[in-house]
């Protein structure tokens, strides 16, 4: 399974400690539920009425405290969730991320059926020199990874009807675009 594991923070890197105030919209009414280790259980669960519901744009932090335990991990907080797009389409944005602070909006369009959202729950790495040098760190929640991909663990869940085995002669197409705009 191919994915991209790119972290995003649309604020200036020195102006924000986390992405809680970033707005997120995901065109998804289901997610792949995991067990206490976040390994998929095979259950495709609805997001409606949960902290995982981003069908209408809202801030990442608005239901942060309610995110504890979702996805099957009773001690986990934040987001580390594979969302199933309602209508994967490489022509229309499946996801939007927006920073009110900077006015930057990023629209993501992909032909992949799933997007993993990870709020850098366990991140603590030194910054590059251009971002303040090794004396400063990127801390947990300072970015959000947006990972377009196929169905996580579909090979072990035949009921999903997803064939993830590629062999010579079977093409695999993976396309994702990121469109940026500024709103004031």
More confidently predicted of 66 and 98: 98
- The rounded distance, in Å, linking the Cα atoms of 140 and 119 is 8
- Pick 6-182's CATH classification: 3.40.50.12780, 3.30.70.20, 3.50.50.60, 2.70.98.10: 2.70.98.10
Band of residue 71 on the pLDDT scale cut at 50, 70, 90: low
The whole-number pLDDT of residue 158 equals 94
Among candidate residues 49, 46, 39, 41, the one with its CA nearest the CA of residue 76? 39
pLDDT for the residue numbered 124: 80
Region 36-53: mean pLDDT is 91
Give 89's DSSP letter: B
Residue with the larger pLDDT of the pair 88 and 178: 178
What is residue 56's DSSP assignment? S
What pLDDT score was predicted for residue 58? Answer: 98
pTM summary value: 0.91
Summarize pLDDT for 111-169 with one digit per residue, the tens. 999 999 999 888 888 888 887 777 778 888 899 999 999 999 999 999 999 998 999 99
**Could you state, in order of their start, the residue ranges of all structural domains in the chain?**
6-182
Please give the full DSSP string across 68-81, using - where no structure is assigned.
TTGGG-TT--S-EE
Reported as a single tens digit per residue, the pLDDT across 82-122 is 999 998 876 889 999 999 999 999 999 999 999 999 998 88
């Amino acid at each position: 399974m191919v994915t991209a594991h790119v972290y995003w923070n649309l604020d200036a890197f020195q102006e924000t400690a986390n992405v809680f105030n970033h707005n997120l919209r995901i065109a998804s009414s289901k997610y792949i539920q995991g067990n206490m280790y976040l390994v998929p259980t095979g259950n495709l669960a609805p997001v409606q009425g949960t902290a995982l519901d981003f069908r209408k744009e809202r801030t990442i932090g608005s239901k942060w405290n309610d995110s504890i335990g979702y996805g099957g991990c009773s001690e986990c907080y934040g987001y580390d969730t594979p969302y199933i797009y309602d209508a994967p389409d490489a022509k229309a944005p499946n996801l939007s991320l927006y920073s009110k602070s900077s006015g930057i909006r990023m629209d993501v369009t992909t032909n992949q059926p799933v997007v993993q959202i990870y709020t850098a729950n366990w991140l603590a790495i030194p910054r590059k020199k251009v971002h303040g040098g090794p004396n400063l760190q990127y801390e947990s929640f300072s970015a959000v990874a947006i990972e377009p991909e196929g169905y996580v663990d579909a090979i072990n869940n035949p009921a999903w009807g997803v064939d993830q085995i590629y062999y010579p002669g079977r093409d695999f197409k993976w396309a994702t675009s990121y469109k940026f705009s500024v709103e004031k």
